Amino acid sequence: MDVAGGSVAVPDLEPDEETHLGFVKVKDKKPGPDKSEKESSDDEDDEKHPSLVSRNGAYQIVRAMKAMNATQRNEVSALGFGLLLQLNAPKELPTKLCYWLADNFNPRTCDLILSDGDRLHVEAADVGVVLGLPSGNITMEQKTTSNLTEEFKRMFSNRHNNVTANSVIEKMLTHVHGGVWFRRLFLIAMSTCLMDVTSNGYVPRGLIGNFDNVDIARNLNWGTFVMQCLVDHTMAWQKTRDKYTGPIFFLLGLYVDRVEVFLRPVDRTIPTMIGWTSERLYDRQKTEIKHGGLGGGHVVERFALPGPLQREGAGVAQRTGAA
């Protein structure tokens, strides 16, 4: 493809990635070459532990970031999202554990209720650790109309609001030399994939107006925004059990880092999910189910980098020894 002043390879998009992030009860999907063995060991627990599957928005944006050239990655870092570039998002998530997380998060208190009654209180500060996002004090608002929204729709030759995250990613990657619209499209795609997904998979109209001035992106209150999405979407899902469109990837990353079960298989990092592969996440799910059920671990303190390593965009987070 020869566009925007250069050549760019846009990653192939899978058919199901154009669909919404709807969670349904199905058999657990398994990654890796030993898929059938893992399936047979877990199938007996299907009735006791319902499964959720989804179009994995985190995987979608992480794959897009890996497809960026050096200039584009530098632009992302300049925005204040250097740590996000280190994020790992497995294609397959442990669907039984994801269901349990959505079911046991209390939106009113922002507590994750463990099986023994212990509580993990979820806060905006956790967002920066799990996802590697900056956080300022400028509130993100739902701006249903803005000049930027209209310009965005014209860019996609679309008078309506049915632009998918994949379309935004494709357009973003064509801006091989970066620029203000590369930055805006990145912020729109990242927010849609990681935080505020609509049931039909389209970019939320109210989100776009927050990114008129990209220079303040690092000063937006991303932590509070993610928490609000978590509360709103989880509350809606718990009423209907229909489609869950909240930031389940954030909640999963928080849980496997802050709730320990036996020995920790990976070092603690910022962002949290650097070392958590699909295989390790499924092993975690299998271990919990085998030894008393999901949610049976103990809560540990939030991880923090020492001293100057806490500065924004420090790159791959420093590791601590596995427990």
pLDDT digits 0-9 by tens, 50-84? 887 566 789 999 999 999 999 999 999 999 999 99
Mean pLDDT value across the chain: 83
Which parts of the chain fold into alpha helices (H)? 35-43, 57-66, 70-79, 95-104, 124-131, 147-155, 165-174, 180-194, 205-208, 222-240, 248-258, 278-290
Long-range contacts of residues 228-236, Cβ cutoff 8 Å, at least 24 apart: 229/195, 229/196, 230/105, 230/107, 230/110, 230/122, 231/107, 231/110, 232/107, 233/197, 234/102, 234/105, 234/107, 235/107
For 226-255, write each residue's pLDDT tens digit.
Answer: 999 999 999 999 998 877 889 999 999 999
pLDDT at 34: 52
pLDDT at 241: 84
pLDDT at 159: 62
pLDDT at 162: 85
Token digits for 228? 């609000």
For 94-108, write each residue's pLDDT tens digit.
Answer: 999 999 999 999 999
Tell me the whole-structure pTM to 2 decimals: 0.83
pLDDT at 143: 78
Is residue 47 packed enough to be buried (19+ CB in 10 Å), middle (13-18) or exposed (0-12)? exposed
Task: Give one DSSP letter per residue of 17-36, joined into a string.
Answer: GGS-------PPP--STTHH
pLDDT in tens, the chain (323 residues): 433 444 444 454 444 443 333 333 434 444 555 554 445 555 556 678 888 756 678 999 999 999 999 999 999 999 999 999 999 999 899 999 999 999 999 999 999 999 999 999 999 999 999 999 998 999 998 877 788 988 998 899 866 668 999 999 999 999 999 999 999 999 999 999 999 877 777 898 888 999 999 999 999 999 999 999 999 999 999 998 877 889 999 999 999 999 999 989 999 999 999 999 999 999 999 999 999 899 999 999 999 865 544 444 444 444 444 43
DSSP-assigned letter for residue 106:
E
